[in-house]
Amino acid sequence: MKTLIISLFIICTIFLAQKQSIGQQFIENDTIWASDTVRIYNDIVVEYPATLTINPGVYVEFQDNYSIDIYGKLIAIGSDKLPIIFTIADTNSFGDTATLAGGWGGIKFLQNQYDTSIINYCHFYYGKAVDPGAYPLDPSNENLKGGAIYCNVYSHLEISNSRFAHNRSTFSGGAVYAINLQSLIIRNNYFISNSTLQHGGALWINKVNKAEVSNNIFRENRAVRFSENAWGTAINGNGAAIWLGSQTNNSIVSDNIISNNIGQGAVYETSYKCLIYNNVIVNNRGSAIFNGHTLSISSYYNNTIVNNKGFNHKICGVVFHSPNIKMRNMIIFNNRSDEDKYLNPIQLWSPDPVIADFAYSCNPDEAIYYQGEGNIQDDPQFVNPTPDAGPDYDGLSADWSLLDSSPCVNTGTPDTSGLNLPATDLRGNPRIYGIRIDMGAIENQTVVGLPENLLVNARVQVSPNPFGQSFKVISPGREKISSFRLFNQKGQQIGMETLMPMDQILVFDLGYQPPGLYLLVTRFEDGTSETTKLVKY
């Protein structure tokens, strides 16, 4: 096995073994780390415009709290079977914030507004951002931020297919701290047991022009501290998994599983505009989503928010401050609290006198803090949920898909235009299966369903049915037709007519469409409608 020890100033393509450390290591030319093991004995600085490339399978072992500072570019691309690993040689004292020992200093991306760094199939263990002797909650102290990755004034950073475990910071960003970026992609990663005392147990993001946090798992991360005062125990810390700042707009948080984290708001967002959809947020300690921007126009769609356990009966499900947040197709159910005297904790609450724009969703609350049509209060009926609320139950191993009998199937908003929904749900299945979208993050893939007003006392006649190439619609009498809309079984509109011919016969040619179920919705000028189910063979 080859072993690489970084210690002296060398300009070369591939580092050779060295045995001692003198000062700081600067990399000024493009460099490749290809050895089995790279041992770091001092801080590494990658100067602009140099690129540090780390090959698959390299084991990067820090001998103390040293960092890699990237002013140029980092390309660290491993593979599923050969990940790149960043860790510390000795983890003793990792939990002691009074010393730097036990953790390495992280990778820092700094002062580069031109390049894109890529991290793919990498593992980050025991990164530690502390400043012994300093006030641990000083927001101006950059040494307290970003346990494994710290990014400040950088162009583009992509992190995917990677694992972050047992990283910590004192103030913010237990695993990743990112500020002043043009774009940030956090995709297909696993964040487990990362922690901070203030904001963002796993991720802290602010002042990013475009941020995407998608298809990740966040588990057992913490952004919390407890302190005693004259009134009892004070609980501080926001964003157990994700913290989005007020100057990060147009960000997307989608298709994540966020479970068993501890802190106020598993997702804490105080941005003016973000899109949060297709997430399962379950069995966290603290509320699920906490919005802190009074002028926010963010959108929350198709999130499953269940069995979280808040610190009080109001802050346990979704907390919002703005009446302009649009919520659709949500399931917010059985979120509990420590206050046992409140048998029915509030699932959707605002501390301000505002009402949520909340529609076609499942929520057992009385309509005090929300208004909108199509809401239900019934049990959503999951396939195999956790038995109760809080992090004592494993939300990740539960099955949050909907039973065929669920009242949330085919009862989401009938009009998904403008929602910017993806084509697939959390599991990658069609986002709309059947006549309408479901509530929640996981679309039922069994029930096709039909809308209300089935073919009873029909005012139009459709034939032939089943059909092969085309079918015709006849409207006898003098019924006034407003429109015909034709949908496929995914709920996608594939045709529309607003004018009935003089002979009252309309022909639809579907020769270009595949066999399957189709639905014809006829709307009349008196405001009524009827739906006809057709089968193409």
Residue type at position 117: S
Structural domain total, the chain: 2
**What 3 state SS string does 135-173 have?**
CCCCCCCHHHECCCEEEEEEEEEEEECCEEECCEECCEC
Nearest in space to 73 (alpha carbons), one of 114, 39, 105 = 114
DSSP letter for 438, please. Answer: P
Length reported for the chain? 537
340 found inside a domain: no
| Structural contact between residues 238 and 263, judged by C-beta atoms closer than 8 angstroms | yes
Choosing from 198, 214, 230, the residue where a domain stops is 214
Backbone angles phi, psi at 300, to 5 degrees: -120, 115
pLDDT at residue 457, rounded to an integer: 43
Rounded to whole angstroms, the Cα distance separating 483 from 4 reads: 72
pLDDT at residue 420, rounded to an integer: 81
13 found inside a domain: yes
Rounded to whole angstroms, the Cα distance separating 273 from 251 reads: 7
Q: What is the CA radius of gyration of the chain?
A: 27
pLDDT at residue 536, rounded to an integer: 83
Choosing from 191, 214, 237, the residue where a domain stops is 214
Task: Determine how β-strand 470-474 pairs with β-strand 461-463.
Answer: antiparallel
261 found inside a domain: no
514 found inside a domain: yes
133 found inside a domain: yes
User: Cα 444–449–455 angle (5° rounding)?
Assistant: 175
Which tokens belong to 284?
């966290």
Q: How many Å separate Cα 356 from the centre of its chain?
A: 21
Query: Domain residues for 190?
Result: 3-214
pLDDT along the chain (537 residues), means of 10: 43 38 71 95 96 97 97 98 98 95 98 97 98 94 98 98 98 98 98 97 97 98 78 77 91 97 95 94 96 91 97 91 94 90 85 90 92 95 97 97 95 86 91 89 84 47 84 68 83 81 76 86 79 81
Task: Determine how β-strand 3-6 pairs with β-strand 37-40.
Answer: parallel
Nearest in space to 397 (alpha carbons), one of 379, 382, 385, 387 = 385
Strand partners, 172: 145, 199
Rounded to whole angstroms, the Cα distance separating 123 from 164 reads: 6
Choosing from 189, 214, 239, the residue where a domain stops is 214
Q: Where are the beta strands (DSSP E) in 135-279?
A: 149-160, 163-165, 168-169, 176-187, 190-192, 195-196, 203-214, 217-219, 222-223, 225-229, 232-236, 242-244, 251-254, 257-259, 262-263, 267-269, 274-277
Residue type at position 351: P
480 found inside a domain: yes
Domain at 527, CATH number: 2.60.40.1930
pLDDT at residue 500, rounded to an integer: 66
430 found inside a domain: no
pLDDT at residue 449, rounded to an integer: 60
- The residue whose two tokens read 């100033």 is 9
354 found inside a domain: no
| Structural contact between residues 125 and 167, judged by C-beta atoms closer than 8 angstroms | yes
Which tokens belong to 22?
């003198």
